[in-house]
Amino acid sequence: MARQSEMVGANKPEPLNAHCRSREILELIGGKWSLLILCLLKAGPMRTGLMMRRGQGISQKMLTQTLRELERAGVVERRSYHEVPPRVEYSLTPLGETLSVLALQIEHWIVENYEQVIATQALFDTLHSEDTYAKNVKG
């Protein structure tokens, strides 16, 4: 007999449920580098060196690890060319194309709302640093 945790999502995935396997997909997409890689690959096939230059800040290790996870999920395809020197390119699969549309919408939202978010963060930090200071002075 199947355990309850295995039955969760049997009919419908429940990504918010920690015991549902679909949660892995949510965690993959929400990973630190996944959206960046999806946005980069929307421009077309790319080698890791170019991804590292354009995606400033990602290490070779994290790029490789995230690409492998995206490849495992069927979102990214790795193509190896038997040349000298060897060449490897990554591209979006048709499934990855559908996901990259969402990634680009998030990128657009960031561009459109950047100033408001930064201003709100600065205000929050100011208000909370004063609260912290006041508590420390009184305490």
DSSP per residue, the chain: ---HHHHTTSSS--TTSTTSTHHHHHHHHTSTTHHHHHHHHTT--B-HHHHHHHTTT--HHHHHHHHHHHHHTTSEEEEEE--SS-EEEEEE-HHHHHHHHHHHHHHHHHHHHHHHHHHHHHHHHHHHHHHHHHHHHH-
Q: Decide if 18 is inside a domain.
A: no
Domains: count for the chain: 1
pTM attached to this predicted model: 0.77
What are the tens digits of pLDDT across the range 56-78? 999 999 999 999 999 999 999 99
Q: Decide if 126 is inside a domain.
A: yes
What are the tens digits of pLDDT across the range 32-44? 999 999 999 999 9
Residue 105 sits in which domain range?
Answer: 31-138
